[in-house]
Amino acid sequence: MGRAGQPPGRRAEPGGAAQQAGSEVDPATGLPRWIDNPQSQGGVTWSDILECWNLVEADMNERYGIDLDEPGLLEGRTVRWLKVRILGLLECESRLSTALAPPEKPGA
């Protein structure tokens, strides 16, 4: 085994469990602080995203072929893995991006 219980030749993933273990947690929600930090693009927060979880699930299935309801799927993944894919949904035409950053109407 390599460092921190990783197989030889495999480096720890940035934002992975080892880095997140020391993350500051909001005592009111029990969530890591990064979830409540607004994104620089459009002011969308993780709270906004989590309120649209049904759209996230539908978009993840359609865009990436990932069924988030599949038992055990997220157990082997890092928070970073999920975060990268969800943020990707905000950058493309998706249900989530439409709900959180609807296209501007002409003349608005």
SS3 56: helix
* pLDDT greater at residue 46 or residue 107: 46
pLDDT digits (tens, 9 = 90+) for 5-40: 444 443 343 344 443 444 566 677 665 555 555 444
CA distances from residue 15 to 48, 67, 70 in whole angstroms, order as listed: 21, 22, 23
Phi, psi (rounded to 5 degrees) for 52: -110, 30
Task: Out of 27-31, 63-67, 74-78, pick the least confident.
Answer: 27-31
High-pLDDT (> 70) share of the chain, %: 56
Integer Cα distance of 47 and 49 in angstroms: 5
DSSP string of 58-85, one letter each residue = HHHHHHH---TTSTTTGGGS-HHHHHHH
Whether pLDDT at 4 is above 60: no
Q: What is the pTM of this model?
A: 0.60
